[in-house]
Amino acid sequence: MSEIKPEDKTATDKNEEEQDWEAAKAFFESLKTKAPRPPKPQNAVTIAVSSRTLFNMAERKIFVDEGVEKYVAFQVEHESDPLKPGPAFPFVKALMNVNTRLRNLYPDSEELFDIVLMTNNHAQVGVRLINSINHYGLTIERFCMTGGKSPIGYLKAYMTNLYLSKSADKVTEAIEEGIAAATMFMSRQESDLSDTQLRVAFDGDAVLFSDESEIIVKKHGLDTFFEHEKKFENKPLAQGPLKCFLEALGKLQRKFYAKNERLNCPIRTFLVTARSAASSGARVLKTLRSWGLEIDEALFLAGAPKGPLLQKIRPHIFFDDQMFHIEGANELGTISAHVPYGIGQKYNKGKLIEEPKKEE
């Protein structure tokens, strides 16, 4: 799994890039405005969201049934009507609350969340998207509207730390490019989420960690898995697709800790894993320690359903690699995001999905 940020550049490239940014920054700062400036991408934690995750784009049915021209015409006709919030909306609002707290503590810092709207919508639809963003008071200045083309190729250019979409194919493509990504699902009932603290819940295997241990469970059973985890307890697990996002969250958390704000930190992270604590939990915790990462709460469920625990946590987003956990969480009001990675994609509720036979 490759790191999120691009490879190191030469000193000359960095100097030229810095000069370009400084010139752009000087120009924008010469314009008087009360609106907060977007941070430099290399300093920010960049979250790319699709228009269908940020908003409930029910109008997509027009595109599917009647084609792009009717769809664009409808959006232009209704561009003054705000779109309804989508599954990523509470998450984005929580990110902006964290930014407000960071700016109060570090007025000149650019280590902030930066939200990019990444959509294959036509540019004409952008007016309604902008009007909706302004209607809800969201701070989203960077847009990427690709007019029907996949936006995945732009994710690295925007230095994306996390990409959220409704398209499983685009998310899979992003993960294959080494970018943390997940497919978002709206919960089936509303939940009262925190207005003051960003809450992010992660599954462990095939999300924060690789699927190496899950492969053993699927192929050889629990007893072999427990023996394997005990034998390799002191060997860190390889990283999974969301490890870099947890790392980015931890970097911002430490900025609050440095100001003696640990107990009042507006970011809280949770590990919600089907692992058993006594039989296989130590390796997970030691892996996080070896990475220099903290998790605020670790919940080992030993195979019990995750939905009821998540209902108590009330995260703004919950990441898991298995759809039956996503469905169980959604039914109880948790906004969830599927990470299509690892051997779990070949199974449904523990049973191997039969692949169609290839014609000879």
pLDDT tens-digit series, residues 284-335: 999 999 999 999 999 999 989 999 999 999 999 999 999 999 999 999 999 9
Q: Is 345 found in the same domain as 202?
A: yes
Say if residue 137 is in the same domain as residue 267: no
pLDDT in tens, 53-87: 999 987 778 877 887 888 888 889 989 999 999 99
pTM of the model: 0.86
* 216 and 178 fall within a common domain: no
List, edge to edge, every strand of the sheet that includes 297-300. Answer: 142-145, 113-119, 45-49, 160-165, 181-185, 336-338, 317-320, 198-202, 267-273, 297-300
The domain boundary residue, chosen from 129, 155, 185:
185
Buried b (16+ CB within 10 A) or exposed e, 218-228: beeeeeebbeb
Please give the tally of structural domains in the chain.
2
pLDDT tens-digit map of 198-240: 999 999 999 999 999 889 988 888 899 999 999 999 999 999 9
Residue 332 lies in a domain: yes
Q: How many CB atoms lie within 10 A of CB 232?
A: 13
Let me know if residue 338 belongs to a domain: yes
Catalytic residues: 203
Q: Which domain holds residue 246?
A: 198-352
